[in-house]
A and B are shown apart, each in its own frame.
Chain A
Amino acid sequence: MSAAKKILIVEDEQDVLAYFEAIFQDNGYDTVLARNGIEGFELAKSEKPDLIALDITMPGQSGMKTYRQYKRHPALKDIPVIIITAVNDSFKSLLDELNGFSTPEAFFNKPIDPEELLKVVAGILSE
C-alpha cells in the first residue's frame, strides 16, 4: 500500500476549510491547508501535493490568479486542480477567463455533494 495521497485545500472561509479537511482526512487523504491564494502558491511549492482544491473568491489574491501561477510554474503545472466555488458563474464562463491556460480537472459549485467530490478526487488520483 502506497503512502496516502496529499491534498492542498485553498479556502478563505475557515469553517468551509475545516469541513473539507474533515471529509478528506476521514477518507484517507493527507491534507495541507492554505487560507488565501498567496499561501496556497507557497505551500504548493514546498509540499508538492498530489491534488489541489481551490476556491475562487478570496481576499488579496483571487483563485483565478493562483490557478495561473500554478500552471505557469514548471514543478506545479501538472498537479491536478479542482475548483470549488460559490460564484454564480458557470464552469464555462470560468474557462473563458483562462486565456489559453489548461483547464482544471474538475469544477464544483458550493454547496457540494461530499460523495461526488470524493468519487471525482479518487478518479483523478487513480489515473
Chain B
Amino acid sequence: MTATDVDPAARARDVIGVSTLDDAALRRYLHGLPGVDEVGADARAAGLATRSIKTTAKAWALDLAIRVIDLTTLEGADTHGAIRNLCAKARRPDPTDPTCPSVAAVCVYNDLVPVAVEALKGSGVKVAAVATAFPSGRASMAVKLADTADAVNAGADEIDMVIDRGAFLAGRYLEVYEQIVAIREACAHGRPEGGAAHLKVILETGELGTYDNVRRAAWLAMLAGGDVVKTSTGKISPAATLPVTLILLEAVRDWWTATGAVVGVKPAGGIRTAKDAVRHLVLVNETAGPDWLDPDRFRIGASSLLNDVLLQRRRMAIGAYAGPDHLTPAL
C-alpha cells in the first residue's frame, strides 16, 4: 500500500459514514470503538509472553527479528562516521556469517539522511527519517512540512512522524487527522527516486494515558492514511510495551477486516533483548496473524537489540555464547 493509492479523506468519510469530517464526527466514531479493558489487555499480553519458543522456531524468529529491525540512532552526538558505521552494521549485522540477513532500515534524524542513503546504496536496506519536529512535535505546520520535505528530498524511503499529542488529548481530532494527511501528501512528492515515502505515524503511547486512547489514536492515524502505526519516539517512558503493541495489532487487524487495507505496526523503544523481540513476534503471529510477520508489515525500532539477537543467533549456531568482543559495537 503506498500513499498514492487511495484518497484517505473519501475512505475516512466512508468508514465513518458521514459526508463531512469534523471534530464531532471523529469523536463520535473514535469513542464508539469498543473499549479496551486494561486488566484484560495486560493479562492477554502477559499470557502470550509465556510462549516457549525453542530450537527451530527460535532460529527462525531470531532471523526474522533481524529482518524487521529499524536500526536507530537519534542522538545529538551522531556524526557522519557513526552513521556510516551503523549502516555497515545494518547491511551485514554479522560479518562472520554470510547467512545473517540485513536489517529492514536505518532510522536517523533528517540531516543525516544523505549520509545513510549513500552508505546503504544497493543494499536493499531502507533509510527512515524522523520528521515533524521529532520528538515533541511542537512546531508550526509549516516547519513540520519543511522538515518532512527535507528528508524526502534527501532520499528517505520512510518518514517517521509524530502526532500532536496535545491536540489529540484536547479532543481536536480533526487537527491531528489533517496534519497526518498533510504530511502524507508531503511524503508523496519530491523523492529523487520517485514514488512516495512510506509514512509511519508515531502515537507516543506513553503520553496518551489510557489504552482506549491508544486504540483511538491508532484508528485516527489509519483513517488519515498512515502506512504504519508506531508506538513511541523512544524518548518517553514507557515506550513500547507488549499490551500497547497488542492493541495496535488488534487495530490493524480490525482495519484490514473493515477496509481490506494493510497497515503495519512498529513498536519502538525499550525492546532490548532477543527474548523481548521474540515475544513481540509471538504477539504478531497470534493477533494480526502470520501475514504480518514480514518487514513490510511489522518493524521493531531498536538499537541495542540487534547485538543481543546476534549473540543468541551465534549461540544457536555454535552451542556457546560468544564474548561481546566478537560483535561489532552497537554504534
The answer to whether A and B assemble together is no
